[in-house]
A and B are shown apart, each in its own frame.
Chain A
Amino acid sequence: MTHPERERLHDYADGLLPPEEATSMEDHLSVCDACRRRVASIRALTDELASLPRGIRPERDLRPPAPRPLRPGDRSRWPRVAAALALFLAAATAALLLPDGSDGDRETTFGERTPVPADVVLAPYEDAARQLATELDARRDRMDAETAALVQRNLGVLDAAIRDLQSAREVASSDSVLTGLLENRHRTRLEFLRRTLALLSES
């Protein structure tokens, strides 16, 4: 038996074959189980795809601040703030992308020293970052939408890097290299928050 091409089966399942070809396809399907099952599968898949939920709730708040009318001086100020943050982020991102063994602050962070429990190393960073993040939240409405989105996006990148390393550390909890990398990421995040706040104060 000669089977129709796959493309024809899809066109038939979509109702796109001209009437003459559709009739000849139906003749074939009436005697061919395999093609009949294939058409049924295509249609069932189409129905399943169409019934997927249209909405998925993101895991974190992604809203940018509502835009506000420009005040005198805004036009010249925000590009400078955004440019300064972008410069810092370029450097921070480059550090994040470095292979693990070539991390910039490796020697000063976790050279040959005696291992210290990770929680003790990281706690001061986490406390300081929490404090700065609260301060930043309180002043978020002073940023324009694009700068705020840039800040939020890059905090997301830094948080994700920290989460990845934390997951890795759960598997190898005594690994001092991972703790050192984690400390560097926390330090980058802290520095980013500090610079953002400093730039907000200057602007």
Chain B
Amino acid sequence: MIDDAVRRAQKGNPDAFDELYETHVDRVYALCLRMTADRRLAEELTQDVFVRAWRRIGSFRGAAAFSTWLHRVTVNVVLDAQRSARRRPAQLSALPRELRWSDALESPGENDPAGRLALERALASLPDRARTAIVLHAVEGYQYREVAELMDVKLGTVKSHIHRARELLLERLESP
């Protein structure tokens, strides 16, 4: 079933696009930010996600929830960008990770447990593919097999990325 805002957006109602953006932007941005560990890139990719989603919203038929569809669009936008970046290795990897990490996570809100910032920082410090794999699996809830399909790698590769990510996270959290 397609919800009302999506249906109105499909008919071109500008308020409906605003409504959908407001409802979903936090989730889209969080996913972009955690997968890239780079605030500026995450902002660019969030915009790209909504541009792509608005362009394709007419083809959304409601087989899954809109949030699920948009989540998948987000994952694909980020993975596409990462694949392109690997073909152009110069710019991003030249910057130290700490400088690229998000100010958004430098000041967690009052309700955030103290350990969250340390965990977010440790996540951001992981090698790209290990971070992508563990964010998709452990934060976003995709199964190993789904992560393998999304990242276009073998199941065993995903498992070793995730195990390595956990080992590095435990190491960094135990001795910050």
The chain B residue with its CB closest to the CB of A97 is: B91
Contact status B51-A42, CB under 8 Å: no
Contact status B44-A56, CB under 8 Å: no
Contact status B170-A58, CB under 8 Å: no
Contact status A58-B18, CB under 8 Å: no
- Chain A, residues 56-75, CB within 8 Å of chain B (1/0): the string is 11111011101111000000
Count, chain B residues at interface, CB 8 A? 48
Neighbour of A49 across the interface among B55, B103, B104, B134, CB < 8 A: B134
Task: List the B side residues contacting A56 at CB < 8 Å.
Answer: 26, 29-30, 33, 104-105
Contact status B104-A59, CB under 8 Å: yes
Give the most central of B16, B51, B105: most A CB within 10 Å. B51
- Say whether, besides A62-B25, A145-B54, A45 and B47 are in contact (CB < 8 Å): no
Give the most central of B12, B47, B134, B159: most A CB within 10 Å. B47
Contact status A49-B43, CB under 8 Å: no
- Say whether, besides A57-B29, A62-B43, A63-B18, A48 and B119 are in contact (CB < 8 Å): yes
Task: List the A side residues contacting B141 at CB < 8 Å.
Answer: 50
- Interface hits, B162-176 → A, CB 8 Å: 162-163, 166-167, 169-170, 173
Q: List 5 A-B pairs, minimum CB-CB distance, nearest first.
A: A55-B26, A66-B17, A49-B138, A56-B30, A66-B14
The chain A residue with its CB closest to the CB of B26 is: A55
- Say whether, besides A59-B103, A59-B104, A53 and B43 are in contact (CB < 8 Å): no
Which residues in A have some Cβ–Cβ distance to B below 8 Å? Answer: 6-7, 10, 41-42, 45-46, 48-50, 52-60, 62-64, 66-69, 145-146, 149, 152-153, 156-157, 160
Contact status B47-A55, CB under 8 Å: no
Contact status A52-B50, CB under 8 Å: no
In angstroms, Cα B26 to Cα A146, docked, is: 21
Task: List the B side residues contacting A69 at CB < 8 Å.
Answer: 12
B48 contacts partner chain A, Cβ-Cβ < 8 Å: yes
B116 contacts partner chain A, Cβ-Cβ < 8 Å: yes
B83 contacts partner chain A, Cβ-Cβ < 8 Å: no
Contact status B51-A50, CB under 8 Å: no
